[in-house]
């Protein structure tokens, strides 16, 4: 079999060179298009469902949220398992699909079933899908630094400016904020004043919600001109909240400030984010979308951050906390270094022992073509370029060299023997 292949290759050199050219072109194309990451993504093919029902204990979350959702998610095609966790005010459900299932097909099937299952949930509770990323999707972390700005101001800047800008980057699934204080308006009600003014607590809740919205009033025509009528009612300051009317007491309006203290504060925090033990920081995590090229996503994020930095307040700047592209470039450099070292060693060994530069070129060509074929197969089978796959290629170079040297030395020895035989006339 091998003898026939070698004989056919000698007789059809054009097709051999054509195959070499195709391998070179396909190999370089695969190197360019194959997603590059630092670590192999071994996470499960899953869809995360997140449901928030604040103020409820884990038992209520389990009975009213988690159990109805898990029960109605049963029966979706190609599901491997369903796992769930209930905690204070939150429910997480992990729907694990088979490995060969397309992630967006899985998300569509889960979303269809959620539309039906939502009728079994309490009023006002809406489950949502997690980002279309994986467990290794955290490719870039950054923090915001600014002298003279407190953690609340930096967190507001992150949530309402930086986050929305970076989410538009191609390949980014989500930008998750961390650290700082999330600003909120707090209304602390005095129960004794509620009893004194005879105001139900639910009336206070409805009054606050009803006084924080805009309403439309159709059109008003005057002098052949139509005017759009609007009712401006959005809350914009603490004074707007304090002046909300919640009822009357002996024909006297009772305002919210009469029964409660209204103040600006932060949301409840369950933890803090520190950097190098030097104090709290505010920043964000860039989550890469499933199947994207990590290095390209990071580069596009950095370019976008340069544009976003132009709109930051004076004194505020970005600081990189974690950049996976450094590890990715180190992996590529390791493979490149191993490849050139192997080529140099093979060339030196072949030339020293065989005194034939052409024979050395044969072994070198086998190494390069084998590496290119490896990248073509990685592209065809969807294997990303990471530490494991690139390290495997680097290790395989040593195995590729051995048969190349043996075959080249054997051919060289046979040709030398034939030449000597012809010269001696034997």
336 and 255 both lie in a single domain: no
Are 158 and 312 in contact, with CB atoms under 8 Å apart?
no
Structural domain includes residue 415:
yes
Structural domain includes residue 9:
yes
Task: Give the pLDDT of residue 340.
Answer: 78
Report which of 131, 172, 136 is spatially closest to residue 304, judged by C-alpha positions.
Answer: 172
Residues in the chain: 426
346 and 412 both lie in a single domain: yes
Q: What letter does residue 120 receive in the DSSP assignment?
A: G
30 and 60 both lie in a single domain: no
Rounded to whole angstroms, the Cα distance separating 197 from 257 reads 13
Q: How far apart are the first and last CA of the chain?
A: 30
Domain end point (choices 265, 282, 298): 265
Structural domain includes residue 166:
no
Domain end point (choices 94, 117, 133): 133
342 and 367 both lie in a single domain: yes
Q: What's the total number of domains in the chain?
A: 3
Q: What is the CATH number of the domain that holds 258?
A: 3.30.2090.10
Task: Give the pLDDT of residue 423.
Answer: 63
Domain end point (choices 101, 133, 165): 133
Structural domain includes residue 309:
no
Are 96 and 45 in contact, with CB atoms under 8 Å apart?
yes
54 and 118 both lie in a single domain: yes
Q: What is the CATH number of the domain that holds 48?
A: 3.30.70.1430
Task: Give the pLDDT of residue 95.
Answer: 94
pTM of the model: 0.77
Q: What is the CATH number of the domain that holds 332?
A: 1.20.1640.10
6 and 74 both lie in a single domain: no
Angle CA 371–394–43, to nearest 5 = 95
66 and 14 both lie in a single domain: no
Q: What letter does residue 211 receive in the DSSP assignment?
A: T
Task: Give the pLDDT of residue 316.
Answer: 93
Residue range(s) defining the domain that contains residue 246: 190-265
Structural domain includes residue 297:
no
111 and 195 both lie in a single domain: no
Mean pLDDT by 10 residues, the chain (426 residues): 77 86 90 80 87 89 93 90 92 92 91 89 90 86 90 90 92 91 88 89 87 81 83 84 86 89 82 85 92 88 93 91 87 77 74 72 80 87 78 75 76 74 64
Are 93 and 69 in contact, with CB atoms under 8 Å apart?
yes
Structural domain includes residue 222:
yes
Structural domain includes residue 304:
no
Structural domain includes residue 142:
no
31 and 117 both lie in a single domain: no
Are 198 and 207 in contact, with CB atoms under 8 Å apart?
no
């Amino acid at each position: 079999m091998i003898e026939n292949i070698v004989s056919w290759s000698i007789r059809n050199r054009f097709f051999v060179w054509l195959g070499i050219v195709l391998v070179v072109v396909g190999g370089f194309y695969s190197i360019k298009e194959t997603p590059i990451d630092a670590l192999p993504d071994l996470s499960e093919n899953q869809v995360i469902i997140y449901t928030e029902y604040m103020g409820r204990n884990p038992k209520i979350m389990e009975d009213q949220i988690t159990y109805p959702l898990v029960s109605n998610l049963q029966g979706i095609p190609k599901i491997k398992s369903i796992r769930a966790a209930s905690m204070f005010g939150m429910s997480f459900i992990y729907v694990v699909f088979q490995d060969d299932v397309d992630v967006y097909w899985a998300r569509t099937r889960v979303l269809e079933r959620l539309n039906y299952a939502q009728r079994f949930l309490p009023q006002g509770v809406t489950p949502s899908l997690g980002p279309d990323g994986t467990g290794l999707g955290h490719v870039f972390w950054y923090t915001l630094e600014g002298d003279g700005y407190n953690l609340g101001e930096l967190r507001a800047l992150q949530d309402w400016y930086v986050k929305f800008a970076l989410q538009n980057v191609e390949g980014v699934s989500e930008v998750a904020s961390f650290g700082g204080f999330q600003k909120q308006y707090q209304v602390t009600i005095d129960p004794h004043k509620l009893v004194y003014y005879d105001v139900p607590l639910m009336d206070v809740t409805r009054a606050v919600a009803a006084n924080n919205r805009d309403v439309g009033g159709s059109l008003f025509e005057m002098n052949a001109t139509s005017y759009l009528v609007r009712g401006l009612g959005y809350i914009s300051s603490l004074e707007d909240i304090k002046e909300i009317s919640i009822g009357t007491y002996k024909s006297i309006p009772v305002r919210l400030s009469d029964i409660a203290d209204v103040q600006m504060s932060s949301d409840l925090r369950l933890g803090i984010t520190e950097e190098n033990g030097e104090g709290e920081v505010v920043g964000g995590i860039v989550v890469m979308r499933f199947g994207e090229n990590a290095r390209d996503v990071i580069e596009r994020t950095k370019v976008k951050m340069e544009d976003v930095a132009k709109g930051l307040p004076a004194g505020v700047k970005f600081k990189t906390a974690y950049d996976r592209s450094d590890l990715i470039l180190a992996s590529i450099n390791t493979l490149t270094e191993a490849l050139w070292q192997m080529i140099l060693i093979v060339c030196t060994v072949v030339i020293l022992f065989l005194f034939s530069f052409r024979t050395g070129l044969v072994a070198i060509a086998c190494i390069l073509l084998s590496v290119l074929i490896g990248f073509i197969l990685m592209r065809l089978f969807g294997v990303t370029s990471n530490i494991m796959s690139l390290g495997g290629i680097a290790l395989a170079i040593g195995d590729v060299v051995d048969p190349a040297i043996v075959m080249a030395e054997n051919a060289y020895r046979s040709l030398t023997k034939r030449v000597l035989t012809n010269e001696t006339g034997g």
